């Protein structure tokens, strides 16, 4: 396992950085540069690097799609959110249209924000490509076919020319797939969702989104601690605040940054990546959430430091 690459990190629906948002970033950057003199492009870049994501970048707006680069010839992805479209274009740019490839998709569930990118996944339209779609839901094929049925989409599922195979997995069982050991776990979410634990080459990545954690349930907590045990990276649904998960948004099927820290600390995980960002949160709000989460980790730390990041479109975690 060489790299985890994020193509989409938002929850519920895609969002876009607006013109007013860009304007606010430019004004903030210019205000911070007042009175400064930049003698070279390198000095200018060094200044931009101090501004942080909220001013000099963006967490992005595509819905869930994460690539795991295994070092093998096949592609491995988690979910088919709107970020899948850009990934598909990148794959074609790399290989061209005439070089068949194999794609493995591990699906958390079939809610629309997690499948909406598939009709725009260009490699699915090329003969010779092979696509394996894994998951614990028996309705995956029906969901993907339905979203490409009239009147929802002008191109039907039958127009796809790749060889597409749906593979049903059972939870709490190890599979050898795409050069990795894969274990799937049932999660608390409307209609159910599944998390995945991927292990290869001495590295372990956990993909756990659209999962609500009731920390008062000792047995459930212990089971997830074991699922996260010693993971090098835990990609975690931190859509809500702790207050949200305990009040108005209880039973909405998502979790908080606080639960992520607690579970990862108990599991001895090495890095927590906040994921499935609330679409109402702008870059400043996600920056504040990240800072708050790092502070919480610091004051509750009893052992090794837990590294904490917030996923953004285009982010890479390498080993």
For residue 251, what pLDDT is reported?
61
The side-by-side arrangement of strands in the sheet containing 174-177 is 174-177, 180-187, 193-200, 203-208, 233-237, 271-275, 307-310
Residue with tokens 């080459």: 201
Q: Are 197 and 190 in contact (CB under 8 A)?
A: no
Dihedral of the alpha carbons of 229, 233, 236, 238, in degrees to the nearest 10: 120
Both structure tokens of 180: 């990795």
Which pLDDT band holds residue 252 (cuts at 50, 70, 90)?
low
Which pLDDT band holds residue 242 (cuts at 50, 70, 90)?
low
Both structure tokens of 290: 């990240």
What CATH number does the domain located at 3-17+60-318 have? Answer: 3.60.15.10
What is the Cα–Cα distance from 158 to 145, expressed in whole angstroms? Answer: 8
- According to DSSP H, which parts of the chain are helical? 19-32, 41-49, 53-56, 84-95, 112-115, 140-147, 218-228, 242-246, 257-267, 283-300
DSSP state of 63: B
pTM equals 0.94
Instruction: Indicate the domain borders of the chain.
Output: 3-17+60-318
pLDDT in tens, 162-179: 999 999 999 999 999 999
Question: Is the pLDDT at 91 greater than 60, yes or no?
Answer: yes
**By CB neighbour count within 10 A (0-12 exposed, 13-18 middle, 19+ buried), where does 218 fall?**
exposed
Percent of residues, the chain, with pLDDT higher than 70: 96
pLDDT in tens, 130-157: 999 999 999 999 999 999 999 999 999 9
User: 3-state DSSP call for residue 251?
Assistant: coil
DSSP state of 277: B
Nearest Cα to 311, choosing from 295, 298, 281? 281
What string of DSSP letters covers 89-152? HHHHHHH-TTS--EEEEE-S---HHHHTTGGG-GGGGSTT-EEEEEES-TTHHHHHHHHTSTTT
How far apart, in Å, do the first and last CA atoms of the chain sit? 8
Q: Are 197 and 204 in contact (CB under 8 A)?
A: yes
pLDDT in tens, 32-81: 999 999 999 999 999 999 999 999 999 999 999 999 999 999 999 999 99
For residue 1, what pLDDT is reported?
85
Question: Is the pLDDT at 253 greater than 70, yes or no?
Answer: no
């Amino acid at each position: 396992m060489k790299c985890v690459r994020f193509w989409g990190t938002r929850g519920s629906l895609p969002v876009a950085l607006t013109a007013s948002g860009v304007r606010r970033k430019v004004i903030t950057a210019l205000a911070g540069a007042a009175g400064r003199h930049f003698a070279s492009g390198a000095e200018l870049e060094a200044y931009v690097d101090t501004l942080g994501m909220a001013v000099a970048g963006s967490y992005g707006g595509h819905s869930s799609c994460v690539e795991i680069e295994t070092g093998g010839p096949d592609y491995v992805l988690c979910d088919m959110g709107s970020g899948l479209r850009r990934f598909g274009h990148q794959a074609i740019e790399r290989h061209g249209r005439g070089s068949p490839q194999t794609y493995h998709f591990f699906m958390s569930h079939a809610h629309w924000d997690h499948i909406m990118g598939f009709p725009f996944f260009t490699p699915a339209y090329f003969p010779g490509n092979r696509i394996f779609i894994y998951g614990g839901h028996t309705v995956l094929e029906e969901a993907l076919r339905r979203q490409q049925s009239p009147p929802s989409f002008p191109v039907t599922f039958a127009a796809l020319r790749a060889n597409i195979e749906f593979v049903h997995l059972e939870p709490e069982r190890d599979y050898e797939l795409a050069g990795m050991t894969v274990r799937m776990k049932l999660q608390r979410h409307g209609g159910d969702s599944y998390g995945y634990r991927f292990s290869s080459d001495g590295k372990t990545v956990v993909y756990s989104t659209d999962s609500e954690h009731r920390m008062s349930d000792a047995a459930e907590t212990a089971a997830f601690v074991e699922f996260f045990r010693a993971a090098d990276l835990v990609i975690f649904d931190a859509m809500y605040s702790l207050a949200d998960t305990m009040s108005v948004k209880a039973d909405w099927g998502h979790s908080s940054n606080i639960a992520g820290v607690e579970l990862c600390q108990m599991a001895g995980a090495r890095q927590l990546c906040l994921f499935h960002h609330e679409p109402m949160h702008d870059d400043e709000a996600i920056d504040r959430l990240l800072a708050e989460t790092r502070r919480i980790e610091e004051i509750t730390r009893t052992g090794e430091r837990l590294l904490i990041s917030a996923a953004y479109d285009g982010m890479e975690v390498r080993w």
